[in-house]
Amino acid sequence: MKMIFDAHLDLSLNALEWNRDLRQTVAKIRETERPLPARLNGQAAGTVSLPEMRRGGIGLCVATQIGGCMKPRSFVANWESPSQAWAMTQGQLAWYREMQRLGEMVQITDREGLESHLHRWTDPIAAAERNEPIGYILSLEGSDSIVTLDHLDQAWQYGLRALGPAHYGTGRYAMGHDMQGEFPACGIELVRKMDQLGMILDVTHLNEACFWQAIEIYDGPVWASHQNCRALVDDVRQFSDEQIKAMIDRDGVLGAAFDVWMVVPGFVRGQSTPESIGVTMQHIADHIDHICQLAGNAKHCGIGSDLDGAFGREQSPSDLDTIADLQSLESILAKRGYSDDDVSAIFHGNFLRVLRRA
């Protein structure tokens, strides 16, 4: 088993907004949610918990804070003011701190901490048996909660190491993928401040105009934590080949996202099922392979599953029951001719390269 670095998980959102005790097994969480009246956000069908991550060798992840005040109002994690959004992210931070106190997770903020953690997860099976804490790099999905740039300094001090300026809709600092327009002046200031601090720029969710602006004005390391290919699913949420090539030129990495409407065309929320449209992990591999073909190598793709991003099995590949099934990608990629080194790069090595550079 290879260690997996999942570059996008909304763990604190699930713990606080969906009221999930992620220390429990996925089966126990589903059982707890089954009697509830409304079936929303993957209720009784979730795929992510800390024990299941250990079982699947996912010893390291990018874990998010998320609290926006975008217009029009987003369907998730959206508040009426920046101060409310900031307060939400601070509650999420408190949850991560509590997981650290309990020995469930450990925050990675520097190179020394990263290398020490990787050493403990050299053998993922043994690490899981020892119940090693899962490492996390703290990221902010959408920048609306950054009330002022002084708040960004505070966030850096408490360990924020990556930031995606946009989510859905019109943000305070950037335009989401579903909007038109460029960065406002304050957004350019934010990106430049990130550059000064040394934060990783997550270009996921940026619309095309903001994406190209960001690539031009930001000099530091970039990644797209959970991003698929427009050539395979023609939607503005996905990246065009030109955007992917720009990421390759910047030595960036794109994490394959598992939300099936981003994986295959034609999925309709509330109507389609993964089984009815036949989406499987093979289709995830198609997106990974497309990036590799554009790059001519396997150095610019990884995994950013987003498996807990307000959905569950009803919107995941049909052959995936829990996040532990990410391991099945190894045999899928091997059968397509990917070497053992290639698979290791995709599972963790490529995102680690960006982290080490940062």
3-class SS string, 55-111: HCCCCEEEEEECCECCECCCCCCECCCHHHHHHHHHHHHHHHHHHHHCCCEEECCCH
Residue 297 CA: distances (Å) to CA of 149, 279, 300:
38, 25, 8
User: Is 0.95 surpassed by the pTM of this model?
Assistant: yes
104 contacts: CB under 8 Å, gap ≥ 6: 23, 50, 133, 134
CA 235 remoteness from chain centre: 19
Asked if 304 and 225 count as a contact pair (C-beta separation under 8 A), the reply is yes
pLDDT at 39: 66
- Chain center to CA of 184: 25
Helix (H, G, I), strand (E, B) or coil at 245: helix
Give me the pLDDT at residue 323, please. 98
Segments of the chain scoring below 50 in pLDDT:
none
- pLDDT, residue 339, reads 98
State how far the Cα of 220 lies from the Cα of 250, in Å rounded to an integer: 9
Q: Structural domains in the chain?
A: 4-357 (3.20.20.140)
- End-to-end CA distance of the chain, in Å? 27
Residues whose CB falls within 8 Å of the CB of residue 112, separated by 6 or more in sequence, listed in order: none
Helices (H), 218-263: 241-249
Distance CA 268, CA 51 (A): 31
Tell me what pLDDT residue 328 has. Answer: 98
Give the integer Cα–Cα distance in Å for 301 and 294.
11
β-partners of residue 9 are: 63
Task: Return the structure tokens found at 103.
Answer: 């020995």
